[in-house]
Amino acid sequence: MVYATIWIALALLVAAEIGKGPLAQDGRPARWARMAWLAGALLAIGHAALALAVRYHWDHPLAVRETARQGAALYGFAWSGSIYVNYVFLTLWLAVAWRWQHWLWRLFVLVMVVNGAILFARPIARPFGVLLVALLLWAWTKPARPREARIGV
């Protein structure tokens, strides 16, 4: 359940970006994209709370240590601030302005998704993470569709 919540949240983030990018018309996102964005953000925040409750038994210092240990296993050094980067990501995901298309935001999202969905993911889930990253990059590079010419108008 803990892992499913973040995978669904990341899929909703990618879907929202596709709705804001390739499926947007005349620069306006698809109607459903905002709801996907918000649902993904709320589900990701729920994932963080669920992980803290189930995996760390509401022991935040343990979560900080374990997250640092996992980072050390992957990157070769432990940093106790890595869990706080996750909190910043969740806060910005929820609070970021809808029309914000700044490359810094996208770079931050890309780093977080690559880390969470590929590098720190279980090996069996990594292909899905690669697919999410590929779709995210496609959404950011594919231009919005122009409005189709209206017949009889």
Cα angle: 137, vertex 27, 42; to 5 degrees: 60
Task: List the chain domain ranges.
Answer: 2-141
Instruction: Name which of 6, 19, 2 is nearest 136 in CA terms.
Output: 19
Whether the full predicted model's pTM is greater than 0.85, yes or no, is no
Rg (CA), the chain: 17
Distance, C-alpha 123 to centroid of its chain: 19
- Output the pLDDT for position 128: 92
- Output the pLDDT for position 150: 41
Per-residue pLDDT of the chain (153 residues; tens, 9 = 90+): 888 999 999 999 899 989 988 888 887 888 898 899 889 999 999 999 999 999 999 999 999 999 999 889 988 999 999 999 899 888 888 877 555 567 777 888 888 899 888 888 889 999 999 999 999 898 888 776 666 544 544
